[in-house]
Structure 1
Amino acid sequence: MRVGLLTAFIAVAWLGQQVQVALAQTRPSVSPSEPAKVSAPKESPPRKEAGVAVSPYTAGLVTGPPQSTEFAIAQDIATTLASGQETGPRGEVALRVLPMVGNGGIRNIRDVLTLAGADMAIAPFVLVDRLRETRTIADIQNKLVYITPLFVEEFHLLAPSEIRSLADLEGKRVNLGEEVSAAAVLGREVLNRLEVKISELNLGLDAALDGMRKGEIFASLLVSGKPVNLLARYAQADGIHLLPIPYSKALQQDYLPSTFRREDYPNIVGSGESVDTIAIKCALFAYNWPTRSERFQLLEFFVETLFSRFPEFLGDAHHPKWREVNLHEVLPGWRRFGPAERWLQRQSGGEAALRKAFGRFLEQKRTSNPPDREELFQDFMRWRERKQGW
C-alpha cells in the first residue's frame, strides 16, 4: 500500500512539472520593464441601474466640476425652477432639479446612461459625437436624446509668462485636466492636429495652477464657458496668462473661433488686448426613458417648465452664457426629446397664426411701414403675455 501511494505521488508531481513546462513554452515572456498588454474587452450596451431615483419629482442633472460654467448653469436651472412653484403640506415642490457634479466629459454621458437618478447631462456636442462615431459607449444613439443646444465653451490654455506660443510647449509637461474629461479628450485631439508634442498630465485645476507657480508645469487647459469665476480672480501679477490657440484649417471642421477680451477677464487680459482661442458647443442631453414611464413624464414637465420660463434666464442675475442659448437650434444627427420638439412646434405654429391674424388687422388700419409693423407686433405679444400671466 505504501509503495502504491508513493508511486501515485511521484506520478502527480511528474504531471505537474510537465504542465508547467508546456505553459512556459506557450505563454510569451514579459520583461520586468515591459508591461503586459491586455486587450480591452468589447463594451456591451450600457444599462440603467435597476434601483429607482431618489424622488419621482427630482430630476438629476449631471454637470461639470464646481468651478465650471456648466455647474453655474445647472445651479441657475435648479434655483430658478424651484421658485414660483406651489408647495405641498411639507414644503415639497412638483419639480426639483438636482445638480450632480461630474467632470464635464465622458463620465457625464456614462452617468446619464447608467445611474438611476441621472436624467440629464450637460456635455460638449463634439465629444458626444466622438463617442457615437467610435462606439466607445455602445448603443448611445438610441439611449440618448437632446433637449436643447446650450452655449459655447472656450478653450482656456493657461501658461506662465515665459511661455508665449504653442511651439514653446514642445516636449514640456502640460496638464489637460482629469482623465476622460472634455479637456483631456478634446485637448489631446487639438494638440495632435496642431502637431504639438507634449508630456501630458491629468490633474485638477488647483493642483495644475500650483504646479505652474512652482515651475513644474508649463500649461494647463480648461474647457468651459467664459467667464470662469475662478480664473477671473487671478491677476497678471501671478505670472499666468491665456495662451493663444490659432484657428487653423486642421480645426475648422469641428471647432469654432473665439476670443478672450478684457471684459471677460479684466485681471488677466490687458487693456485693448485680445487672445484668440477655439470653442465648442455644448448641449443638454437626456436619457431616452420609455414613453409613459414616470421619468419620461418628469422630464416632460421639466421641459414645459424650463422652456416656458426661459426669458427669466436672460436677465443680469444669471450667467451671461444664457444669452447664447437658442431653443430652436438643431443638433445635426441627433433626435430631440419628443416633448421638447412638440413644445417648440406649438410655439412656432402659434406665433405664425398670430402674425397672420395681426397682419389682417393692420391691413384694415392701413399701417404699411414694416418697422412700425414689427414694433407693434412685439408690443402686442408682450401685452398678450401679461394678460395670460406668462
Structure 2
Amino acid sequence: MKHSHPESILRPAAAVDRRRLLRLLGGGAAAFALGLGRRALAASTDIRFFRIGTGAPSGTYFPLGGEIANALSNPPGSRDCAKGGACGVPGVIAVAQASQGSVENVEAVVKGQFESALCQADVASWAYAGTNGFAKDGAQPGLRALANLYSESLHIVVRADGPIHTLKDLKGKRISLGEPESGTLADARLVLAGAGLGEKDLKASTMKLTQAAAGLAAGSMDGFFQIAGWPVPAIAELAQNTKLRLLPIPQDVADRLRKKWGFLAQDRIPGGSYEGIEEDVDTLGIGAEWITTDKIETDFAYRLVKALWHESSQKLIENGHPIGKRIKLAKAIDGLAIPLHPGAEQFYREAGLLVQASQSQ
C-alpha cells in the first residue's frame, strides 16, 4: 500500500480556521491535509503535520484516531486553552490516516510514513524483537510507546441461526481471519492453533471488516474474526439486521494461549454491547498502544502525551467515541510491549505513575 509523504513542517496561512481544519482533518480526512500544501498554508508561523496511522474506517482505530488527532491539534489562530480553545500542541495539526491495521501501521512508523500509530501490543512486541512475521526485516529497536490506551477484545462473529457454536465448529467453514497486514489476522492464527486448527482446516479468507460483515449478512460467509474495542461500529450495525452470536474462548484454550503469549489477557465482552447478545462473552484481550519511534524529539513527545491526557482532551475523547470512556491515565503504562519514549516517560514520572519504578532503581 502506497503512502503519501507530506513534509512535517509547512509554512501556514496567515489565518487558520481551526474548527474547519479539525472537522476535515481530525475526523480522518487525511487527503485534505495532504493536499493543502504550501499554497494554502503560506506563512507566518510553522505548522507541523503529525500523522497517526489507524485502521479501516469500519473499525475502532480510525474514528478513535480522529478524536485523538482533534485533541492533539492546535493550529495557529486557535483560541487559548484557558479560554475554552485548543489544548493540543501549539502549531500541530494531527491527521488520522486510514490503514489496514497494526502490521501496516508499525511498518509505516518504522519507515517514517506515519509519525505515530495505533497498534496492538503483540504486533508492536513482534516488530521490536523481529519475530513472528517480522523476522525478514529484523528487529526494530527504535520503536517506542507513548501510551497504552485500552484493551481490545477478540470478536469471533457468526450467525445466531447457524451451526457454529464453538471454535471446533469453524472447521470447514467460510471464515474471514481479518485484513492482510492486520493484527487481527496474526492473532486469529494464534487462536486457531490454540484450538488445534489451522487455516487449511477452514475455507479461510482475508477480508476487510465491511466485506466480511456484508458476506455474513448475505449468507456467503459463515463468520469472521475481529480484534477491536467494543462496541465495533460495523458489528453493531450488522447486529441491527442480522442475529449474531459471539464465540467464547474456552478456558483451557485461553490458559494455554496466555501461558505461551504473555501479551494476551483474560477479557470479557459485556452483554448488551451488541443488539441481540445479552450474555457476557469470555474472550481474550490485547492492549491497544499508541506508538512512535525514537526519532521523535523528547520534548515534542512530552508535549504530545501531555496534550493527550489534558482534562479537555479527555472530555473530547470520551464524548467522541464509546471506547473513549475506557481510556484512562491511570492505565497508560499498563502492559506496554515496547519501551516508553523518553518524552512519555518524563510525563508519566511527573504524573506519579513511575514513582515506584524510579525509587527501586
- Normalising to structure 1: TM-score of the pair? 0.67
Partner of 2:16: none
Q: Is the 8 A contact 1:49 1:114 kept in 2?
A: no
Aligned pair in 2 of structure 1 residues 60, 297: CA closer, same or farther (>3 Å)?
farther
- Kindly state the Cα deviation for residue 123 of structure 1 after the two structures are TM-superposed: 0.6
Partner of 1:281: 287
Identity of aligned residues (%): 20
Q: For residue 110 of structure 1, what is the amino acid of its counterpart?
A: E
Q: For residue 121 of structure 2, what is the amino acid of its counterpart?
A: F
State whether structure 2 residue 97 is matched by structure 1 residue 100.
yes
Q: Which residues of structure 2 form unaligned runs of 5+? A: 11-46, 80-85, 357-361
SS at 2:62 equivalent: helix
Aligned pair in 2 of structure 1 residues 283, 110: CA closer, same or farther (>3 Å)?
same
Aligned pair in 2 of structure 1 residues 179, 159: CA closer, same or farther (>3 Å)?
same
SS at 1:263 equivalent: coil
Distance across 1 between alignment mates of 2:62 and 2:193: 29
Aligned pair in 2 of structure 1 residues 142, 133: CA closer, same or farther (>3 Å)?
closer
- CA shift digits 1:158-211 (9 cap, x unpaired): 112222222221122210111121111110111012112322101112222232
Correspondence list, 1:73-112, <5 A: 73-82=64-73, 86-87=77-78, 94-112=91-109
Partner of 1:367: none
Partner of 2:120: 124
Partner of 2:156: 157
- Kindly state the Cα deviation for residue 106 of structure 1 after the two structures are TM-superposed: 1.0
Distance across 1 between alignment mates of 2:325 and 2:266: 19
SS at 1:268 equivalent: coil
Partner of 1:53: 8
Q: Is the 8 A contact 1:156 1:224 kept in 2?
A: yes
SS at 1:168 equivalent: helix
Correspondence list, 1:133-172, <5 A: 133-134=130-131, 135-136=134-135, 138=137, 140-160=139-159, 161-162=161-162, 163-172=164-173
Partner of 2:322: 319
Q: Is the 8 A contact 2:153 2:227 kept in 1?
A: yes
- Normalising to structure 2: TM-score of the pair? 0.71
SS at 2:352 equivalent: helix
Q: Which residues of structure 1 form unaligned runs of 5+? A: 1-47, 353-390
Aligned pair in 2 of structure 1 residues 312, 86: CA closer, same or farther (>3 Å)?
farther
Aligned pair in 2 of structure 1 residues 79, 328: CA closer, same or farther (>3 Å)?
closer
Q: Is the 8 A contact 2:213 2:235 kept in 1?
A: no
Aligned pair in 2 of structure 1 residues 114, 240: CA closer, same or farther (>3 Å)?
same
- Kindly state the Cα deviation for residue 69 of structure 1 after the two structures are TM-superposed: 1.6
- Kindly state the Cα deviation for residue 85 of structure 1 after the two structures are TM-superposed: 7.6
Aligned pair in 2 of structure 1 residues 263, 54: CA closer, same or farther (>3 Å)?
farther
Structure number with greater Rg is 1
Aligned pair in 2 of structure 1 residues 314, 64: CA closer, same or farther (>3 Å)?
closer
Residue in structure 2 matching 1:264, options 266, 273, 287? 273
Partner of 2:54: 63
Distance across 2 between alignment mates of 1:251 and 1:58: 40
- Range with bigger deviation, 161-170 or 315-324: 315-324
